[in-house]
Structure 1
């Protein structure tokens, strides 16, 4: 009953703020039985027409994390969980499109679980259909520069989306204008990430030698299973490696090694796969978000999305929003450990699309050491030039926010004082990523 009274209070005090933003939203049936939801916010930049600024698509990770909820209210949308204006929202400079992807995530839904996606390419094909529907609903955005930003598993999905979108553009079946893809703390090469958890934790003093060796034993087994094509078993072993980290570090937060996982997260008595899945689909959701809501007597994200937001957007009654979808994650279990480095090479070798890799240096689950390994192995014409390029500092307001290195159409950004969700943890550092790719702000 308390949350209902809080709902009435918030509606009377803040609900009208949704109306302060020009926006559009809706469903696109990407396949029979599969319905994907998008929520667009037009930029508030001082321009004659909002289409003068690029369109940025934000993809949450997991897979199964909701962009319309986590990405919007917890990371970079115009309003925060309190429905107060966020001063570093990307909407100040860009049109931002939040997509609940893959189908079955957030407000997106399927008529039957058989319609969930099983591979990254299926996800990409659905995304192309989503964008076709988006342009039908919003034709003024045809030809507007398009950039796809994906966090965590969203970064992995964005790569194959880029390939399929460019194919559709070349075939003149979509009027998009894809210019760039950003991979934020992305799940690009899972084995590289898993094998470097132990060394990173040992170097940071967060495990002793015995803990390091235990973590590495599990990680090497995940690698062995992957190498012999046992992809589901490799996913299960990746999960066991996460649990070994959890035990050896006394609950270090996989999304920020300077903090520990909150008490409401899974404990060591949960089976390893469910434990790891529930961590992954959280995808950087602010660990204290529920406790903050409780302290301030506000709605949790789940309550907000299933009451005020659901009513505002006119979501069908049978659709229940959740921050993460276990069925989506489970259905992709066989694809989870597969890398997309060959797809990155295809984009670098065959297109002029800008590829930016940015990483919060305090992340563990998609850590910087693991990212550097696959970057150094990339085969593309600019590989040698990139390796020899200088690493330059990122200064914002006399603060060192990180470093960057670039050559041709590939960039790498190291973001200081940030964990898994760098745009939320260090918005000033992300300004350089946005500025480099789009020439704004």
Structure 2
């Protein structure tokens, strides 16, 4: 069983001071919050940060609990997901008008262990597979519910972006198993996969066709990208999964060469110049950094943003009384590298299991300007799913999403599966198109 350390813990316990050195009044900002560590395994300490909803309700439990999972693997939810995408404050530390805490209780989890403020005592304790990540997550949630029992019956929704969407599938399987076994008191209702890394080979093989159709590459660029992508597929089919992940990176380099560094997270932009100037000499290091850190949008002239790494390791670290030996993000590269053998593996079997054996709502939403987890690649695996409602979904009508008289995208649904195509959005849909995001939030939760 995991051990939890948080703001309401017994401060006389020396074990608590070893792990978190917390104080009763510790927090950042004026929003009601809770945070802490859970020892999910020997040598593995996972951190969470909860913001209670600011909705006009008598009890916070009147609104659902949403877990937000960042991608990478190795991207921090408490930092990137919180300040760059949907938390109460943005990177200029101004209030975000579309923050999800207006309608929901939002739990940011630094997952897998080694990500953000989560850490391992030795790198051998890092996770090597999606299922290991899921088992750690169940233990984290056990600890969270022990400290916050008021949320046990509250509808729980897991929203994962990019690799977070991949992780969410096995988490859903393991959470439902634990619920049925009575080893956790939770109420999992839905899982959302946002621009998710569900079937990596499908995504990689559709980069070149998408770029060619968008006019961003010529035939020579198309041929070079496809040749590299087919090699990644060949290595994967041969069971050389780690080698396939490195070849995937080389395919990215072919894209950069053919497009003069198109932004993998939004094909209408390019990689920011400051990122290129700070590019490590080692290509794999740069691609790891790019995959872990979905860089923020460019702010209007005159606005300055915080340096997130410095901010998390000074202001936030002090405010949340993070242990002195923990550096936010210091183990992220090791997290990514340790999971290379699992990186290119799909989780479509898990999606089929959830669709066929549970009533959990599965939502797939995608920003149509994304490249790394592009919409064409998502459609391929969705159309191949084997589940009881496959034919019904195939024949279901595709409906428009209208918000404030603006066409924000389209959606299609049948049974407990939905697909949302979101316009004017790249990889981080909640940030790029908040109005369109409201559609899939309302569909799943009735709020938003």
Tell me the residue number matched to 1:384: 391
Q: 1:265 is paired with a residue of what secondary structure?
A: helix
Residue 193 of structure 1: how far off its partner (Å): 0.2
Distance 2:160 2:83 in 1: 16
* TM-score between both structures, scaled by the size of structure 1: 0.93
Change (3 A) 1:297 1:379: closer
What is the aligned counterpart of 2:288 among 264, 270, 277? 277
Q: Show CA shifts across 1:65-112 (max 9, x none).
A: 000001001110011122221110000000000000000000001101
Distance 1:82 1:173 in 2: 42
Q: 2:45 is paired with a residue of what secondary structure?
A: strand
Tell me the residue number matched to 1:5: none
Distance 1:133 1:30 in 2: 8
Change (3 A) 1:323 1:251: farther
Alignment length, in residue pairs? Answer: 422
Tell me the residue number matched to 1:76: 86
Tell me the residue number matched to 1:245: 255
Residue 324 of structure 1: how far off its partner (Å): 7.9
Tell me the residue number matched to 2:113: 103
Q: Which runs of 5+ in 2 are unaligned?
A: 1-25
Residue 277 of structure 1: how far off its partner (Å): 1.8
Q: 1:99 is paired with a residue of what secondary structure?
A: strand
Distance 1:117 1:269 in 2: 26
Residue 273 of structure 1: how far off its partner (Å): 2.9
Distance 2:330 2:308 in 1: 8
Is residue 2:324 matched to residue 1:314?
Answer: no
Change (3 A) 1:330 1:112: same
Change (3 A) 1:253 1:19: closer
Alignment of 1:158-307 (within 5 A): 158-265=168-275, 270-282=281-293, 284-288=294-298, 296=303, 299-307=306-314
Q: 1:206 is paired with a residue of what secondary structure?
A: coil
Is residue 2:342 matched to residue 1:332?
Answer: no
Q: Which runs of 5+ in 1 are unaligned?
A: 1-15
Change (3 A) 1:308 1:376: same
Tell me the residue number matched to 2:157: 147
Distance 2:41 2:427 in 1: 32
Tell me if the contact between 1:66 and 1:322 (Cα under 8 Å) persists in the aligned partners.
Answer: yes
Tell me the residue number matched to 1:434: 441
What is the aligned counterpart of 2:417 among 407, 410, 413? 410
Q: 2:342 is paired with a residue of what secondary structure?
A: coil
Residue 302 of structure 1: how far off its partner (Å): 1.2
Q: Show CA shifts across 1:175-231 (max 9, x none).
A: 010000000000000000000000000000000000000000000000011011010
Q: 1:25 is paired with a residue of what secondary structure?
A: strand
Distance 2:173 2:103 in 1: 26
Root-mean-square deviation (CA), in Å? 1.7
